[in-house]
Structure 1
Amino acid sequence: MSDWKRSGVCLCHSSTTTGSDFCLRAGVRKHNSAVDVYHSTAGEAALPLLGLCEVAIEERKSDQRTHILILHTEAGHSDVSQAEWFNKSAWVHAVQICNLERIGHVDLLLALALGFDFVFLQKLPFEHGAADQSKEVELAQMMGGEERLELFVSQLELRNSMAKLPRTGGRWPYRRPVPGPNRRATARACATVLMPGVHQPLNLPQDAPYGTVELDLSACTMCQSCVWLCPTDALSIGEHKCELVFVESRCIQCGMCQSICPEDALKLRPRIDPKPSADTQQVLHQVEPFRCTSCGVPFVAKSMMDRLLARIWGRKGVRASEEVQELIPLCHSCQIQKQQGGNTKPAPLMIKPRQVSRQLL
């Protein structure tokens, strides 16, 4: 006997929005009494299927039947209902989604790693949404959901696809993933669980938001432009300002570091690395530090200081006063001490206030 459950997930931007006839918050629904509507709160909105998956994993522990998740819109309700008559063995949870386009690869990976053997997702009808949806599905497939995730257009496609599935899934083969503090961390945790035998990074499509950077050491000048522009702090400067440090799990492959690099030394490489090393700092480049001429503390890369001094002292370089030339090879603390050390000369970088004469009227 089939075991089909019905529920709904509303992904409206506002709790007061009633939306259109396709919205689960609308006052009139064709099967109002047949579904339990799930309203995601602000804290749960990041992972709207988490509660559903928590129920599924508990069912899956005691029931070895194949567990199937079907995500559809109100328009697909009829197709899903017709497909129900042709499957009498699987444990199926059909979920009507409001704003189905907001279901991404993170939600699909979570379902596959937390209780569901297969996920069927209704294909969006409009061209732009369908293209984005296909990219999300492809990304989820490459991150561990291969052959367990499929799009469907009609009840015939859904029925035929479900007919090919095994009746039993056996013992649940995956350890429980731990949702991270954000969607990216959750996706990585699910991918690690879904690919237990993979110990090397897997290449992803060019527009994937996961990956690493490749650095041409011979071209990098440690100018730090990439560090200043990185929006996620995936790139940073390490000890003594002479190390370029990278954390792969933070990289979103936005390309800003590549676009700002004046030497074209950085290249993006989309991939997913399931190893824990992706969360740790890796030194991409390390150069000789320049030490403060006063206290001896290293505070900048020697190559950068050499180029700066060459410009100042060179014939075609930037002209600077003697006071400025004395401050350049000093660290920040020593610069302040020198400027405030009782020198009678005015600070070289300060602007002398203009004297304004006043006449009595």
Structure 2
Amino acid sequence: MSDWKRSSVCLCHSSTSTGSDFCLRSAVRKHNPAVDVYHSTAGETALPLLGLCEAAIEERKSDQRTHVLILHTEAGHSDVSQAEWFDNTAWVHAVQICDLERISHVDLLLTLALGFDFVLLQKLPLGHAAADQSREVELAQMMGGERRLELFVSQLELRNSMAELPRAGGRWPYKRPVLGPNRRATARACATVLMPTVHQPLNLPQDAPYGTVELDLSACTMCQSCVWLCPTDALSIGEHKCELVFVESHCIQCGMCKSICPEDALKLRPRIDPQPSADTQQILHQVEPFKCTSCGVPFVAKSMMDRLLARIWGRKGVQASEDVQELIPLCHSCQIQKQQGGNTKRAPMMIKAGQVSRQPL
């Protein structure tokens, strides 16, 4: 027999049951030394398998045998036990997870980037959980886990998969990933470590929470609706409110920007870019600024101001008194000064009706 280690991890929030010494979803005592009772707390980077990975990477430094991680439920305990008797793989850590549905692509990528050469995951029964698990596994495979991550449904499949694994893993080939402030950032860091030779973005499935946006410059009016609705600040407004700025690593492909865009100028493109450029700001669109007619400071996109004034002067659904019309081409500071009766220093380019285009809107 080979070197096997058995343990359990509780992920079922059993801490909510005061005084209980049992995992809520299996007959595993929480105070058993073999059980890692993981309780996530607010603000914590939730990585329940990090402790296993830390131990595995330390073991890997002195033992260059292939390290295999098996994740299974209580129902799969018997299959894993039987597979152990027939196994000739070098080093195996079999972990019983009480709530296997909570293991996502983030956890799988972490194990592959930090200590384990292969991960064998018990397939969940048919249903929504099984479909979600398949998507998570596919995503992890496309983000650097290809040929190192497999699902099994029986003891025979598990034995066959393990029989094909190499006994010697050699020197650990990956740099240690830099764990991010959240699970998403950690997944990106692990993907970068697992794909050191990939220098171009890789396309991902349509429901992947990573990607970029494509902007139709001819359609974008810089209305900023997408910016105000973006939940992660992947989209923002740059200098003088005349630049649309995008950070790919922040984009979760939620589609809110696309749904709110009145010009249908945005499209989503799921992908993973392992290069550092994904963490930097990119200017998607840059337009001519409109300068305050009092102080001359740029404060808004000229195209937006042209559209607003064209609506007012053309009486296309927007009405404004003469006092309000005088305030519109002023920046916020000059508007306040004018409303308070202060003297604003007039620039020589006072706006007139003929200065803006009045194209139909």
Q: Same fold (TM over 0.5)?
A: yes
- Work out the CA distance in 1 between the residues paired with 2:76 and 2:318: 69
Deviation at 1:108, TM superposition (A): 0.1
2:130 alignment counterpart: 130
Q: Which amino acid aligns with 1:24?
A: C
Change (3 A) 1:154 1:34: farther
Does the 8 A contact of 2:45 with 2:182 survive in 1? no
Deviation at 1:34, TM superposition (A): 8.3
1:39 alignment counterpart: 37
Deviation at 1:42, TM superposition (A): 2.9
Q: What is the correspondence of 1:1-361 to structure 2 with a 5 Å cutoff? A: 1-17=1-17, 24=23, 28-29=27-28, 36-43=34-41, 46-341=46-341
Deviation at 1:178, TM superposition (A): 1.3
Change (3 A) 1:28 1:247: closer
3-state SS of the aligned residue for 1:61? helix
Stretches of structure 2 lacking an aligned partner (at least 5 in a row): 344-361
Change (3 A) 1:193 1:316: closer
Change (3 A) 1:84 1:263: same
- Work out the CA distance in 2 between the residues paired with 1:144 and 1:36: 30
Q: Which amino acid aligns with 1:328?
A: I
Stretches of structure 1 lacking an aligned partner (at least 5 in a row): 344-361
Does the 8 A contact of 2:214 with 2:266 survive in 1? yes
Q: Which amino acid aligns with 2:40?
A: A
Deviation at 1:45, TM superposition (A): 6.7
- Work out the CA distance in 2 between the residues paired with 1:342 and 1:17: 65
Does the 8 A contact of 2:71 with 2:122 survive in 1? yes
Cα deviation 1:249-278 (Å, max 9, x = unaligned): 000000000011010000000000000010
- Work out the CA distance in 1 between the residues paired with 2:26 and 2:264: 57
Does the 8 A contact of 2:89 with 2:166 survive in 1? no
Q: Which amino acid aligns with 1:294?
A: S
3-state SS of the aligned residue for 2:15? coil
Does the 8 A contact of 2:14 with 2:24 survive in 1? no
- Work out the CA distance in 1 between the residues paired with 2:111 and 2:26: 29
- Scaled by the length of structure 1, the TM-score of the pair is 0.90
Report the RMSD for the aligned CA atoms in angstroms: 2.2
3-state SS of the aligned residue for 2:296? coil
- Scaled by the length of structure 2, the TM-score of the pair is 0.90
Deviates more, 1:56-65 or 1:5-14: 5-14
Does the 8 A contact of 2:12 with 2:99 survive in 1? yes
3-state SS of the aligned residue for 2:284? strand
Deviation at 1:190, TM superposition (A): 0.2
Overall identity of the aligned pairs, in %: 86
3-state SS of the aligned residue for 1:324? helix
Deviation at 1:85, TM superposition (A): 0.6
Change (3 A) 1:317 1:73: closer
Aligned residues, how many?
A: 341
2:354 alignment counterpart: none
